[in-house]
Amino acid sequence: MKRISLLFLTTVSLSAFAQEKKDPTLTEVWQPEPRIVTPGTISSDPPSDAIVLFNGKDLSKWKSKNGGEAGWQLGENAMTVVAKKGDIETKQAFGDCQLHIEWRTPKEVVGSSQGRGNSGIFFMGHYELQVLDNYNNRTYSNGQAGSIYKQYMPLVNACRPPGEWQTYDVIFTAPRFNEKDSTLKSPAYITVLHNGVLVQNHTAIWGSTTYIGIAQYELHRDKEPLVLQDHNNPVSYRNIWIREL
């Protein structure tokens, strides 16, 4: 009980300090570092009941998060982030779901740490699964590819080299809120396979992703759009499908 109380007090103190000082480094975890594993070769076509969100031909299922059409580039059966065009989101909203998505960071390596092949997948627009080039690229462990950003580091580093296609297969359970007072009833949970390797195992998410301070839950609808992040790096996506659970 003493250890749990100490951990709770430390977390509360860290949160208060981080919010007061506005210092993003206070929520970066550098140790331990996920061990590296080499993934096998896998592919995944959509099952018969899947909603295909991107088939390589058009962005008809997407729109700009700021309003209007999605401004990302189409080519080679993929869509690619165009810097400063902003995040894009699905026109349809989702809650509990199974998601398959393939992504690729640029073959030409530019930058380091968080500046190298950075993007992200936001479930319900709130909960970020990090996309980053972490092949021989050290960054804080709870900010690398496969992490729940600034919350949980991945179990292992299963990244392929830059320029190669990678996959996320995700089971996401949406949070539940109490009807009477809008307080949290149960947290969101996420399971992630990165290139077929388990990196998040029914992980309980702390709250909405935040760059500074400790994540907290914010009341939102039962279903919200899936968001892909424009982090000013030309990250590409293809073969995106989702199943409502």
How confident is residue 8, by pLDDT bands cut at 50, 70 and 90? Answer: very low
Longest dimension (CA), the chain: 57
* Predicted pLDDT of residue 1: 46
From residue 220, alpha-carbon distances to 79, 183, 186, 188, 226 in Å are 28, 11, 13, 12, 14
* Predicted pLDDT of residue 146: 98
Mean pLDDT of 63-81: 95
Higher pLDDT, 13 or 95: 95
Q: Write out the H or E segment, with its range, that includes residue 153.
A: none
Predicted model pTM: 0.87
Q: Write out the H or E segment, with its range, that includes residue 2.
A: helix 2-21
How confident is residue 3, by pLDDT bands cut at 50, 70 and 90? Answer: very low
Beta-sheet pairing, 127-131 with 184-186: unpaired
Beta-sheet pairing, 51-54 with 88-94: unpaired
CATH class for domain 2-244? mainly beta
Sign of the four-CA dihedral 214, 220, 226, 229:
negative
Say how many CA atoms lie within 13 Å of 114 toward its Cβ: 14
For residue 110, count other CB atoms closer than 10 A to its CB: 13
| Whether the predicted pLDDT of 198 surpasses 50 | yes
Tell me if residue 60 falls in helix, strand or coil: coil
